[in-house]
Chains A and B, each alone.
Chain A
């Protein structure tokens, strides 16, 4: 007798085939080719950029010794972080995101969930393994150019690709396992923290003890030495991946339904470079809700001003995990700034971006105001005035993170002067993060004068560039605010006026911060001014006539 499940699966396969045909039939080939062209252009550009950054100078013997000693630990650390994120994703219902309709019509039909979800799981493995292989292969090949008496570059690319693919597989497998086994969120956090902590300990401690993911780094070094244990690790990853696929039938329908709706919105928000919506949807995906009961009651003195009081009240409802995440970002930024001071200049970007993301959380009261334009516009207050007052609490709150950053910097550079400079640089860097995030929030506010459609009349090249600049500007402000660390380094390297150099750079950043605050205050007036100029120009007068 034919079972209903078989009939359902036949229907599923038939409809998937038909839908694939539909998509191919309706595909705009010109657009598809344009996408391929764009991907090749951007990918090629990125490789050229990285090549320039890495350079071609041959490594010295001591560099090579460092590479041999530290690569397994450092790549293991990246892998541990990936597994951490994967486990958390699985605990939050990831990593699969099937269509909403697929949940409603297929997963609620008498069809085996395992058979329905196996295909998307394999797709996910394929995508992540491929992306990892491309990244790993490229990175290892760039490294190979600097290795003296190196074997063929293809060998570097091959082992790099294998290591990258393993990282991709581990991400998906850990997420699928966490979800399929139904591990509680606290348990996945505990497991992920133990693995990550172990890897951090062996990396920072510079010991001979192996970390749990050293084999990934070891595999990437296949061009120089081959260890049996690395292949055992790779084989284990493959076994875990296969095992995780067998668990997809145990996935929670509730989690799949929640993610299916949110992920499609998230993709749309990413397409529009709408960072605020991405933040909100990501919070929903990870079920990060505000605390109902505030941490502490905001004292009356801080509530004297209604906007300031509202801001503090918002912060008092932040959930613990958000506070922990902000602290981690804060410490990451501090560590990146110390490493930039030691000579790794690109880490200024990491510090700036970490503080920008931290700022996105700190400016929550301001963002909430921007999210409610109708309410804001109905208040008997000038909008710019209201928005600028909303900057007070995020600016003060960001300084709450200063001590942890200073301590992190002091642990890495235990000198008395570290504390003084960390305080000085930390204040402007943190405020820069708030400034970048504030620009990002406020620029999302609708223009009360109705200029939202103005860009539509521009040619795509111009409006496209404008979009890129508008998207890049907020994080760029946060990165600029971290640059004084380079002035400090320059002063130390040249034994010139160290404090003077640093203070001048800090002064420049302070001017930028004041300008940002002024822009938030006068944004509507600036828009109105430019619109008036435009409407009173002879060309527009002629056009209107």
Chain B
């Protein structure tokens, strides 16, 4: 949350995310057709699509967790997976993972310090309080319920500085207060100048963004403004009348 960038590489004037002709296939089965996408600094984007449309694949390639079969990804001008890219990018995955032997508070310290944040305690306390986890800070997150795990993963995603935030299906399993807290955190990240890309079906978030990127069957079917767009039609498995068979921009 606190964007103290001391000791981290100086920000570079480049697109926050540049995806160039990226494709992914497993053997002969294509998961993502070649996609090119550019997201400017400070933008706030919803990545939408039906189940299996390629959203998570796209997110994981951008995060460096999946190797693209072709093409390249850069984060703030740095190659995806490089030290500088990792310093700039915070990725909150759809499946939270934690160490078995660290409490939530210890996780917060570890992740913060791994990213060079030495003054992390107050930020951690604020974040946990905001997400309703403060009383559980000394418990093991791997034993939490699905919703609490999701909140813990969100806290870990925000404890460290970032220029680009990638969040995959963050609203799944969250209660109403959790969703509200997350929306506030996302809004605050945008206000601080960070780029935010969220893969979601949550209309509450989709309506707050100005740009939507839609995938269908691994293809980019829409990239453009939210105004005048029927979001439901974009997340259907079939393309009604082929009306979005190209980029909106």
Contact = CB atoms under 8 A, between A and B. Distances in A.
A539 interface: no
B91 to A, nearest CB: 6
A23 B101 contact: yes
B102 interface: yes
Nearest to B29: A292
Interface stretch (A106-114, A135-143, A438-446, A514-522): A106-114
A109 B111 contact: yes
B8 interface: yes
Interface in B104-126: 106-107, 110-111, 113-116, 118
Interface in A7-52: 7-8, 10-12, 14-15, 18-19, 22-23, 26
A26 to B, nearest CB: 8
Interface stretch (A154-162, A249-257, A384-392): A249-257
Interface string B80-99: 01011011010101000111
A253 B80 CA distance: 11
What's the dominant secondary structure at chain B's contact region? Answer: loop
B7 A1 contact: yes
B225 to A, nearest CB: 32
A110 B87 contact: yes
B231 to A, nearest CB: 30
A108 B7 contact: no
Given A11-B110, A99-B99, A289-B27, A108 B9 contact: no
Contacts of A26: 101
Contacts of B160: 109
Nearest to A8: B114
A111 B85 CA distance: 11
A252 B7 CA distance: 27
Interface string A219-261: 0000000000000000000000000000000001110010000
Contact of A108 (B84, B86, B99, B106): B86
Interface stretch (B33-41, B61-69, B169-177, B184-192): B61-69
Q: How large is the interface on B (under 10, 10 to 19, 20 to 34, 35 or more residues)?
A: 35 or more
Given A252-B67, A254-B66, A110 B113 contact: no
Contacts of B66: 254
A495 interface: no
A23 B26 CA distance: 39
A22 B102 CA distance: 9
B144 to A, nearest CB: 14
Given A108-B63, A109-B111, A3 B93 contact: no
Q: How large is the interface on A (under 10, 10 to 19, 20 to 34, 35 or more residues)?
A: 35 or more
B73 interface: no
A2 interface: yes
Contacts of A8: 113-116
Contacts of A253: 64-65, 67, 81
A530 to B, nearest CB: 39
A111 B83 CA distance: 7
Given A105-B110, A253-B64, A253-B65, A112 B97 contact: no
B182 interface: no
B156 interface: yes
A7 B116 contact: yes
A257 B65 contact: yes
A411 interface: no
A4 B99 contact: no
Given A101-B98, A110-B115, A4 B65 contact: no
B104 to A, nearest CB: 12
A110 B8 contact: yes
Interface string B57-79: 00000011111000000000000
A253 B26 CA distance: 16
A112 B86 CA distance: 10
A458 to B, nearest CB: 29
Contacts of B67: 252-254
Q: Which of A5, A11, A103 counts the most B-chain CB atoms under 10 A from its CB?
A: A11
A119 interface: no
Nearest to B7: A4
B76 to A, nearest CB: 12
Given A105-B111, A109-B114, A252-B67, 4 more contacts: A15-B106, A105-B107, A105-B156, A109-B115
| Interface pairs A-B: 6 shortest CB-CB | A11-B113, A110-B87, A109-B114, A4-B116, A7-B116, A100-B97
20 contacts: A4-B7, A4-B116, A5-B83, A7-B113, A8-B113, A11-B113, A15-B113, A19-B99, A23-B101, A99-B99, A100-B97, A105-B107, A106-B114, A108-B89, A109-B86, A109-B114, A110-B115, A111-B83, A111-B86, A252-B67
